[in-house]
Structure 1
Amino acid sequence: MEQPLAGVTALDFGQIYNGPYCGFLLAQAGARVIKVESPLGEPLRARGEPSAASYPFALLNAGKEGITLNIKSAAGQAVLKRLAREVDVVLENFAPGTMDRYGIGASALRQENPRLIYAAGTGYGATGPHRDYLGMDITIQAMSGIMSITGQEDTPPLKSGAALCDFFGGVHLYGAIVSALYQRQRTGEGAVIDVAMQDTVFPALATALGGYYLSGKEVPRRGNRHLGLSLAPYNVYRAKDGHVAMICIREGHWRRLIKAMGQPELGERPEFADMPSRAAHIDEVDAVVEAWTETRTRDEIFRIMQAHRVICASVQTLEEVVNDPHLHERGTLEWREHPGLGRIALCRTPLRYEGVTPPELTDVPALGADTQRVLQELGGYGEDELEALQQAEAF
Structure 2
Amino acid sequence: MSDLTTRYPLSGITVIDLSHIYNGPYATFLMAMAGADVIKVEPLTGENLRSRGDLGGVALPFAMLNSNKQPVTLNLKSEKGKQLLREMVQRADILVENFAPGVMDRLGLGATELHKINPRLIYGSSSGYGREGPYRDYPAMDLVMQAMCGVIDSTGHPDQPGVKSGAALCDFMAGIHLYAAIMTALYEREGTGEGRVVEVSMQDATYASLASNLGMLHARGAQAPARTGNRHGGLGVSPYNVYATVDGHVVLNAPADHHFRAILEVMDRSDLKDDPRFSTRTARVQNCEAVDELIEQWTRQQLRDDVARRMLAAKVPCAPVRSLPEVMVDENMHARGNLQWIEHPELGRVVLMHSPLVFEGTQRRPIEPSLPMGACNETVYGTWLGRSTQELAALRSEGVIS
1:157 paired with 2:162, answer: yes
In the alignment, what sits opposite 2:48?
43
Name the CA shift for 1:52/1:39 in 2 (closer, same or farther; >3 Å): farther
Q: CA deviation at 1:324?
A: 1.0
In the alignment, what sits opposite 2:108?
103
SS of residue matched to 1:290: helix
Give TM-score, length-normalised by structure 1. Answer: 0.97
In the alignment, what sits opposite 1:282?
288
The 8 Å contact of residues 29 and 359 in structure 1, kept in 2 or not, is answered as: yes
Q: CA deviation at 1:339?
A: 4.1
Q: CA deviation at 1:103?
A: 0.9
Equivalent pairs: percent with the same residue?
A: 45
1:247 paired with 2:256, answer: no
In the alignment, what sits opposite 1:293?
299
Q: CA deviation at 1:39?
A: 0.9
Deviates further, 226-235 or 61-70: 226-235
Cα deviation per residue 1:254-278 (whole Å; 9 max; x = unaligned)?
1111011111012132211211111
In the alignment, what sits opposite 1:387?
393
1:361-376 counterparts in 2 under 5 A? 361-376=367-382
Paired residue for 1:220, among 205, 216, 226? 226
Cα deviation per residue 1:154-185 (whole Å; 9 max; x = unaligned)?
21111100101000011111111111111111
The 8 Å contact of residues 158 and 225 in structure 2, kept in 1 or not, is answered as: no
In the alignment, what sits opposite 1:333?
339
In the alignment, what sits opposite 1:169?
174
Q: CA deviation at 1:51?
A: 6.9
Name the CA shift for 1:341/1:317 in 2 (closer, same or farther; >3 Å): same
Equivalent-residue separation in structure 2 for 1:113 and 1:380 (angstroms) = 19
In the alignment, what sits opposite 2:309?
303
Equivalent-residue separation in structure 2 for 1:14 and 1:262 (angstroms) = 55
RMSD of Structure 2 on Structure 1 (CA):
1.4
Q: What is the one-letter code of the residue matched to 1:348?
A: H
Equivalent-residue separation in structure 2 for 1:236 and 1:82 (angstroms) = 55
In the alignment, what sits opposite 1:353?
359
In the alignment, what sits opposite 2:99?
94
In the alignment, what sits opposite 2:278?
272
Q: What is the one-letter code of the residue matched to 1:336?
A: I
SS of residue matched to 2:273: helix
Q: CA deviation at 1:229?
A: 2.1
In the alignment, what sits opposite 2:350?
344
The 8 Å contact of residues 220 and 227 in structure 1, kept in 2 or not, is answered as: no
1:75 paired with 2:56, answer: no
In structure 1, the gaps of 5 or more residues are none
Q: CA deviation at 1:61?
A: 0.3
Equivalent-residue separation in structure 2 for 1:52 and 1:367 (angstroms) = 17
Deviation >4 Å, runs of 4+: 49-52
The 8 Å contact of residues 75 and 393 in structure 1, kept in 2 or not, is answered as: no
Paired residue for 2:201, among 196, 202, 213? 196
Cα deviation per residue 1:186-243 (whole Å; 9 max; x = unaligned)?
1000111111010011111111111111122254201100123221100000111111
The 8 Å contact of residues 10 and 87 in structure 1, kept in 2 or not, is answered as: yes
Give TM-score, length-normalised by structure 2. Answer: 0.95
In structure 2, the gaps of 5 or more residues are 1-5
The 8 Å contact of residues 214 and 234 in structure 2, kept in 1 or not, is answered as: no
Aligned length: 395
